[in-house]
Structure 1
Amino acid sequence: MEKQVLEWGIETNEKGHRANSYLYCAETDCPECGYKLPLSPSWIIGKGTKTIAVLKDNGKDGFDIEIQSGVSDEALKRADEMATVRDGNTWCPQCKKSVPITVLRKDRKGDNGEMLSGLRPWGKTEFLPRPDDVFRERLYCVRYEYEEQYLASNGEWKSKTIRYYQTPTPQDMVREKKVEQLLAGRFVDWQNKGFIPNTEIETGLETARLTRERGWRYWHQLFNPRQLLVHGLFINKALSLNPSRQEVILILLGINKLSNWNTKLSRWNSDAA
């Protein structure tokens, strides 16, 4: 699996540094001013590294997101205060207006008192939002790492891992597009083989929220293209080794762990970053 990922070149930048984290956010259009609005309950990325995301007006139709590390305590506090999701509402830095998320979704009650959403339901073969969807998805930060050699006090050369956060570059976005293309070429085959989810989300008290609040109707839509590609590749490579029954169980436990921690529903922990 490692060899395939390296051959694809989807996690390595021009410096040879390897990405180990990708941060995405939902994005919508502010109904008050029309600006494209990235959504997050906090723009603090790492408290330990004092890394934040700063929304900067692009002077046209939305915000550029600039990643800054080693900032002051005041800047860290400001990043938390600039949250664009607050108590069930969106808040736009451009027009300074708040809008209930239920209004964005056009929530309403049905004839039987059930809560209905105005979001477009995603189709079975869709793994990306459409440009005109209420909620879209945006990559806004990549964390890279590399090994650096240094001379220790005892005169021996040692290595240490250096990690840094950055705003996605045009080359990063090219790699994102390649991920989408790689997945698209394998999507139907991998669904048929069970490497990635292919079933509809069952109706239930909690699961109904996925469709009502995001428009997702199938389990694979809880994962972005990069996550689906990695999960599918993991199972594909593991099963190609003709594993024993016991090994298959371990593979299933492994993919279950991946699915728990590598999904759109997973939240970034800024305390440890």
Structure 2
Amino acid sequence: MPSLKSYFLEKVIKLSVKRVLGKRMLKSGIEERRQKLDKAASRLKMPKNSIVEAFQIDGMYSEWLSLPDIQNDHVILYLHGGGYEYCSVHTHRTLAAGIGKAAGIKVLLPDYRLAPEHPFPAAIEDAVRVYHWLLEQGYQSSNIIFAGDSAGGGLCLAAALVLRDQNEPLPAAIVCLSPWVDLTSSGESYIKNKEVDPYLNVDGVRKVASEYAGGESLDHPLISPVFADLTGLPPMFIQVGSHEILQSDAELLAIQAHKAGVPVSIKVWNGMWHVWQMSGDLLPESRRAIQEIGEFVKRTLNK
């Protein structure tokens, strides 16, 4: 049963999203909207003693997130969500750092290119480029975890599919938080949960899906990985909430992975909304979800 805190926080989120998506906000340019999201995220608190190191990967702004006395030979490559159009290292730094703390390893968080300025396949190209950079730095593929939320979860899968098809070494596992992996919006939760989802709305999701695809079919396997052959991909760990329109995306992904012989673990969190893990210490469900991710990563890497 969801906590009382989650009940009230969901109500606050619904009111906040309505205000943010008011007429004035929708009339603003995409850069202004991105800046407002970055500013809102600045209120989130990083884990105590966090170390943030900013640097460039071939011109791509990126950050190392770590804590003192953690292992440096393992890494989580975290790809942020935001519908392929929004968010950045600034909006997702706290979430990624929290996952790294729970797993006891450092996190690499890159600012990949965004649509509509850079539609498909730009984000995938950037994700693959960052992974190659990690290998060039001496990291073993077996010590790298892909993780991402929403569009970032889909991006993790698309990058892994490209690597598989190129016969390159794959990461040890893929962690998906509320993954956006069916850009055709075909799942039943797009109807079932459209009134209860406090964050996402179906029209908005379809709009950014079209802009990201850039003329390609929405059922392209690298745009909507639920339509891909997932054979040979590494183990997957999936979390999704029962109050989000993307619930069907996550469930169908798990079904497709199982059919392809990929080890997969999925948990549907009752009463939770899209990427509730970003609530951090504010919410007991967020703390537990992040702890479960950390435990999965530790098991995977035999830490």
- Shorter-chain TM-score category? under 0.3
TM-score by length of 1: 0.28
State TM-score, norm by structure 2. Answer: 0.26
Higher helix share: 2
Q: Which has the higher strand share?
A: 1
